Structure 1
Amino acid sequence: MYLTTPNKIRQIISQLTTYPTLWLDTEVADWQTSNPRLSLIQILADPTDRTGDRAYILDVLDNPYLVKDFVDQIMVNPDIEKVFHNASFDLKFLGGKQHAQNITCTFKLVRKLTKKSRKNPLQVSNKQLKTLAVELCHFTNVDKTEQSSDWGQRPLTPKQLHYAKMDTVYLAHVHHHLLQLTQPPTPPPVVITPKQQTESVEHPPFSATKVRVAFECPRLFYLKQHFDGNTLFIPPGQSIGIGTAFHTLAQQFIKLAQEDSQFSDLLEPSVDQLNRETVAMGMQQLFYQQVFFPYIESHPEMATVLPKLWQGLTALIQRWVKLLVVNRRYCLHQTVINQTFILEEHKLSYRFTLPNGNSQDVTGRFDSLLFNFERNRLCLIDYKTYEPVDPSAQLAQVALYGYMLSQTKGVLVDSGVYCVLPEFKEYAYSWEQLEAAVHELIPHKLQQMQNWVSWQHPHSNPPPLTSNTHLCDICPQQETCQTYFEVRSADIEQKKGEDEGIFDGAEVSTTKGEGA
């Protein structure tokens, strides 16, 4: 991704601070003169990329303020490993050796591995990055011709941009190969007996939503898995049918706020002079004029629910403004919105190991990712347009999201649920509160889910009834469940209390507008 606008570059720099390792390179204009100028900073955060499609190219030519932001947030951060091929050259333009911390230089690694004093020295033609990419990692069609091209010209050619992004790809794969040579050998694999092989069964992925349903009611989970259908427990009198519209409009607000400078202008006063109500009213008005009113005109069929939809959106905007004002203490008003709302792919996937040795893939898609500068931590948010009837099940779902995102990024992630209707409520969970719940309880629940989904009618031991028997009164598949499972009163007595207190070990806070 080639980025040229300062706002987008600062946004990406902020996002990159959440990764434990970055593979970096630079391109320099007028490098052969007495006045070299840093032209590009290239970054790769995904070492599995072989095409460069996930690399970032930051155009910083003649923009020392962007370079300073990069140095202040990335280079001096000791928690981020920065990998270069020729670090002594790149560091001249990125803060210098005296400031940069946690630097790895693959050129030095190669030099150590090719010393004649080694018993089995590394055999390569030379120590250039592209040579190593070909001879160690088997890349083909490696282009060296653009290295001496004019990096001060604008626009850059497609060949220059391809060359720039691929340098980070080569670097990441060469680094991985060198680490394999320097790290101790792994122990031999455990031999699996034929009996063990038959016991290990590959199961299709479960979504985090299905995990939540399994906590609410094992039988409803079973019906959803085999016959589909609705799974939402909605108490009487609560709004339904606006969830999709709410999520769409919430995302449109974030996009608009990041692109329209009128939003950031509302945050221009000093923190002591900022009035949250004034800022919220200003943002609501801008959003109403540019997005919500056109939405009203194009969706006349939603006339009856639009007041509720707007009520939920204004409550959400007020909560966001509260966080923006907090973050304003740490950011310029021009950048605080981009640095608070993290726009990236919200899909997640993780493979859990279960107590019986099987594995289970879990997938999910969360709603929003925020950064809280006061806590110096990401916070994953899930929206609900109704108040959950079983908060512990919601906790299971958001705990899964936070854990999977943490594994992906290598950083701690707080989580929260925003219930925007009938009145705004926030369920806030820190990483420390959720860690035990995920590690200790989720794998056991996933193993139960595998057993439940394998049950076939009319065998014995079907999925059990819900422990929250009051949910049966508002079950969206009540009739189907009673018919299929032939509910008996004895089942209810047996199930009662089986799952009570499933998250008693996780202290959580339920607040109106606090946390994140």
Structure 2
Amino acid sequence: MSQQNAIHLYDGDLPDDFDLGPLVAIDTETMGLNPHRDRLCLVQLSAGDGEAHLVQIKPVSMGGRGYDCPNLKALLTDDSVTKLMHFARFDVAVLQNAFNITIPSVICTKIAARLVYTFTDRHGLAYLCRDLLGVEISKHQQSSDWGAQTLTPDQLRYAASDVLYLHALWDKLEAMLIRENRRDLAQACYDFLPARCRLDLMGYEEPDIFSHRA
């Protein structure tokens, strides 16, 4: 692994006095797509400097500390740190449910793409990185076993790739939002995300309380 793409793996929590600056890219890996059923296994973070910091979350039954992650939770709940995600609706719900917290100050590149990339219905991270940044991201490990005791080098590289390019992607998308006069609209969506995720966790994905249906 080159210095430009260093991966740091931590067992259970971030180090004390850990600082990634005011804008931190964040992603998660879980055992599945249901936050109530499928446990959180990995949290990835990056300051946009070519380095990824991965926190492996292991249950007590596997010799871990479970969701006792005070340093990670402090970062996630710090409203002075903007959390940059792709499809934040899922990641915020997973993190809020696992850690019993509310996550403020969130930006979602998928919402940004849906607001300004209206000439296509493709808004996945791999497509956007290829189209906007010229970067190829492999999704080969997406459905692998993230709950394993030891993660493979391929899993770690895949997990890191989900945060290493978010800063550059946001720079491109924010410029488009400003150009199309939709930056304020995007911010209103971001500000609502913690509440939207609380509704999802309460079961209000369906029925959608914003729907006109009786």
TM-score higher than 0.5: yes
Q: Indicate conservation of the 8 Å contact 1:44/1:56, yes or no.
A: yes
Q: Indicate conservation of the 8 Å contact 2:77/2:101, yes or no.
A: no
2: distance between equivalents of 1:33 and 1:90? 9
Tell me the residue number matched to 1:132. 128
Tell me the residue number matched to 1:3. 9
Tell me the residue number matched to 1:112. 115
Change (3 A) 1:43 1:82: same
What amino acid is aligned across from residue 128 of structure 1 in structure 2? G
Q: Indicate conservation of the 8 Å contact 1:124/1:132, yes or no.
A: no
2:26 aligned with 1:20, yes or no? no
Deviations 1:310-343 (A, max 9, x none): xxxxxxxxxxxxxxxxxxxxxxxxxxxxxxxxxx
2: distance between equivalents of 1:158 and 1:60? 17
Tell me the residue number matched to 1:38. 40
Tell me the residue number matched to 1:57. 54
- TM superposition score normalised by structure 2: 0.69
What amino acid is aligned across from residue 132 of structure 1 in structure 2? L
2:159 aligned with 1:164, yes or no? yes
1: distance between equivalents of 2:171 and 2:117? 17
1: distance between equivalents of 2:57 and 2:122? 31
What amino acid is aligned across from residue 18 of structure 2 in structure 1? Q
What amino acid is aligned across from residue 175 of structure 1 in structure 2? W
2:72 aligned with 1:77, yes or no? no
Write out aligned runs for 1:188-207 (5 A).
Answer: none
**Aligned-pair distance for 1:5?**
3.3
1: distance between equivalents of 2:21 and 2:168? 17
Q: Which has the higher contact order (CA 8 A, sep 6+)?
A: 2
Q: Which runs of 5+ in 1 are unaligned?
A: 116-122, 186-516
1: distance between equivalents of 2:28 and 2:176? 26
Deviations 1:385-418 (A, max 9, x none): xxxxxxxxxxxxxxxxxxxxxxxxxxxxxxxxxx
**Aligned-pair distance for 1:125?**
5.5
What amino acid is aligned across from residue 44 of structure 2 in structure 1? Q
Q: Which has the higher helix share?
A: 1
Tell me the residue number matched to 1:438. none
**Aligned-pair distance for 1:158?**
0.9
Q: Indicate conservation of the 8 Å contact 1:130/1:170, yes or no.
A: no
Tell me the residue number matched to 1:90. 91
Q: Indicate conservation of the 8 Å contact 1:75/1:95, yes or no.
A: no
1: distance between equivalents of 2:155 and 2:67? 22
Change (3 A) 1:180 1:156: same
Tell me the residue number matched to 1:103. 106
Q: Indicate conservation of the 8 Å contact 2:52/2:163, yes or no.
A: yes
Deviations 1:187-218 (A, max 9, x none): xxxxxxxxxxxxxxxxxxxxxxxxxxxxxxxx
SS of 2:18's partner is helix
Deviations 1:105-157 (A, max 9, x none): 11111111134xxxxxxx446011111111111013x2111111111112111
1: distance between equivalents of 2:10 and 2:72? 14
Change (3 A) 1:100 1:32: closer
2: distance between equivalents of 1:20 and 1:79? 7
1: distance between equivalents of 2:169 and 2:120? 12
Write out aligned runs for 1:34-433 (5 A).
Answer: 35-45=37-47, 47-49=48-50, 54-62=51-59, 63-66=66-69, 68-71=70-73, 73-95=74-96, 99-115=102-118, 123-124=119-120, 126-140=122-136, 142-183=137-178
Q: Indicate conservation of the 8 Å contact 1:39/1:152, yes or no.
A: yes
SS of 2:68's partner is helix
SS of 1:153's partner is coil
What amino acid is aligned across from residue 137 of structure 1 in structure 2? L
SS of 1:25's partner is strand
Change (3 A) 1:4 1:44: closer
Deviations 1:400-446 (A, max 9, x none): xxxxxxxxxxxxxxxxxxxxxxxxxxxxxxxxxxxxxxxxxxxxxxx
SS of 1:2's partner is strand
Q: Indicate conservation of the 8 Å contact 2:95/2:101, yes or no.
A: no
Deviations 1:323-381 (A, max 9, x none): xxxxxxxxxxxxxxxxxxxxxxxxxxxxxxxxxxxxxxxxxxxxxxxxxxxxxxxxxxx
Q: Indicate conservation of the 8 Å contact 2:133/2:169, yes or no.
A: yes
2: distance between equivalents of 1:2 and 1:79? 24
Give the length in aligned residue pairs. 166
**Aligned-pair distance for 1:98?**
7.4
SS of 2:41's partner is strand
SS of 1:10's partner is coil
Q: Indicate conservation of the 8 Å contact 2:15/2:71, yes or no.
A: no
Q: Which runs of 5+ in 2 are unaligned?
A: 1-6, 60-65, 181-214
Deviations 1:18-54 (A, max 9, x none): 6111011000024469621111110001x252xxxx1
Cα RMSD, aligned residues only: 2.5
Moved over 6 A (4+): none
**Aligned-pair distance for 1:173?**
2.1
